[in-house]
Chain A
Amino acid sequence: MAYSDRVRGVFGSQLDEIREKGLFKQERFIHSAQAADIEVEFPSGADVRKVINICANNYLGLSSHPDVVKAAHEGLDSRGYGMSSVRFICGTQDIHRQLENKMTEFLGTEDTILFPSCMDANAGVFEAVLTSDDVMISDRLVHASIIDGMRLCSAQHDTFKHSNVEHLEKKLQLHADKRLKLVINDGVYSMDGDAARLDEIAELCEKYDAMLFVDDSHASGFIGKTGRGTHEKCGVMGKVDIITTTFGKALGGASGGCVSGRKEIVEMCRQKARPYLFSNTIAPVVVSGVLKVLDILSASTERRDKLEANTAYWRKGLTEAGFVLKEGDTPIVPVMLFNAKLAQDFSRDLYEEGIYAIGFFFPVVPNGQARIRTQISAGHEINHLDKALDAFRKVGKKHGILGLSKGEIIDKYGL
């Protein structure tokens, strides 16, 4: 044993430092299935409370949908529980390939390869496709998993200001001499809920002979008229060369991800992407659930339409109540509080009112931009939203911020 007191102390003092900075993360235990109404134990050991969940990525309300649960049961019965192998040895079932084909059709791409998660898709794809003769040019607010993936890749990297196409164009000119250029974006940015300007970005990519990458984790299933994603919303279906996305949010919410796009790129991933080669893929029970999700979404746009209506209702209600929101039209609706302590207090008070929503502050979002991030779902009914609006009004009034502008909130609470 070499876990001496000294070693324990090294970690102990790092953990203390995290606590002192107010950045210590704690889990809340949910005693029910994921849904609009959940039962939560928080803090650990406290009585379980029934609360309305407005912070899940369960955008389409499919996480516990009876048809999805039933399909998963059937998959479990017919294909078993585990594969005990990576894909290319003996870990690929017919349903894995079926899911890849269905995703290809759903996203309007050429081919698809599954990964254990979207984090793994992003960790594997860049290294599999690019070399040191190439450059990755990424938006400055892309997801952490993309940043990790780029770190693993020997291509040069550069960044452009968030959603700033003029700055992107300068970078494309600067890197004109590279063998391959890849422009990297999130489809919808999860902190602010804004969508990438993919129409303009795709045009630049064509002009400068660059490939286009989009992580559509917060879009697949509900953004665009038929829910195909940000490329549908922006009218550039067929023009995005690499899409990564997750099955862990709108598409049933269990786990898993994929890379979908040009067939040579997908084939390169099948030959070279390390998380695909060296880790088990999605379990058969989950694959069966996602197949059902895609059936539901291909048959009708009812759920994404309801989500859109719920989102509009929620935004209108909060605006009329006098909150400062981030502009946008996605189901990610940040309620801006600017001050970190206020965001924490606000979240705690909402919980007392039976509403589960989390405060975000530096370093997750920039300093002085603390907020409550709310996420709307097709699983919410109007009465859920009305109850949540009542709670926001009550807590907003308690803190005296209703009707205040950004400047007035900052004057009152500081940054």
Chain B
Amino acid sequence: MAEMKDIVLEYVREEYMEDEDEELNYDTPLISGGIVDSFSMVSLKRFLENKYNIQIPDEKATPEAFDTVNSIVALVQEYIK
């Protein structure tokens, strides 16, 4: 599943990072670190749902669950059958 991590990381970099040199790794805090605001999280959720053909219930799509690439991957894996 290393691959999924990198796909998510790449998406976050493309979609949210203003500055190419900014540090981003699997544990960088995205929401609490101010990289992704809770409003913009919607496009990330939609990306994951389309890419992996899953439905993440809104109540599971919390700022905590979306805070790092690692936690996002863990969440997505719960819904992949």
Which residues in A have some Cβ–Cβ distance to B below 8 Å?
A: 138, 140, 147, 150, 157-159, 161-162, 362-363, 366-367
Complex Cα distance, B39 from A150, in Å, reads 10
**Cβ-defined contact, B34 with A159, below 8 A:** no
- Give min CB distance, A415 to chain B, whole Å: 12
**Cβ-defined contact, B39 with A159, below 8 A:** yes
Complex Cα distance, B37 from A363, in Å, reads 11
Q: Mask for B1-30, Cβ within 8 A of A = 1, else 0?
A: 000000000000000101000000000000
Give the nearest-CB partner of A141 in chain B.
Answer: B37
**Cβ-defined contact, B34 with A161, below 8 A:** no
**Cβ-defined contact, B34 with A362, below 8 A:** yes
**Cβ-defined contact, A157 with B42, below 8 A:** yes
With an 8 A cutoff between CB atoms, is B33 at the interface?
yes
Which residues in B have some Cβ–Cβ distance to A below 8 Å?
A: 16, 18, 33-34, 37, 39-40, 42-43
A residues in contact with B16, CB < 8 Å: 161
**Cβ-defined contact, B42 with A367, below 8 A:** no
**Cβ-defined contact, B33 with A159, below 8 A:** no
Give the nearest-CB partner of B35 in chain A.
Answer: A366
Complex Cα distance, B33 from A308, in Å, reads 37
B residues in contact with A363, CB < 8 Å: 34
In order of increasing CB-CB distance, the 7 nearest A-B pairs are A159-B40, A366-B34, A158-B43, A367-B34, A147-B39, A140-B40, A159-B39
- Give min CB distance, A336 to chain B, whole Å: 15
Complex Cα distance, B33 from A366, in Å, reads 9
Complex Cα distance, B41 from A147, in Å, reads 13
Give the nearest-CB partner of B41 in chain A.
Answer: A159
A residues in contact with B43, CB < 8 Å: 158-159
Complex Cα distance, B34 from A159, in Å, reads 15
Complex Cα distance, B39 from A148, in Å, reads 10
Complex Cα distance, B35 from A161, in Å, reads 11
Complex Cα distance, B18 from A367, in Å, reads 14
- Give min CB distance, B63 to chain A, whole Å: 13
B residues in contact with A362, CB < 8 Å: 34
Give the nearest-CB partner of A167 in chain B.
Answer: B15
User: Within the complex, which residue of A147, A157, A162 is in contact with B18, where a contact is CB–CB below 8 Å?
Assistant: A162
Complex Cα distance, B39 from A334, in Å, reads 26
B residues in contact with A158, CB < 8 Å: 42-43
Complex Cα distance, B42 from A138, in Å, reads 12
Complex Cα distance, B39 from A391, in Å, reads 40
Complex Cα distance, B40 from A409, in Å, reads 31
Complex Cα distance, B34 from A366, in Å, reads 7
- Give min CB distance, B19 to chain A, whole Å: 11
- Give min CB distance, A274 to chain B, whole Å: 21
Complex Cα distance, B33 from A140, in Å, reads 15
Cβ contacts A to B, 22 pairs, < 8 Å: A138-B39, A140-B37, A140-B40, A147-B39, A150-B39, A157-B39, A157-B42, A158-B42, A158-B43, A159-B37, A159-B39, A159-B40, A159-B42, A159-B43, A161-B16, A161-B18, A162-B18, A362-B34, A363-B34, A366-B34, A367-B33, A367-B34
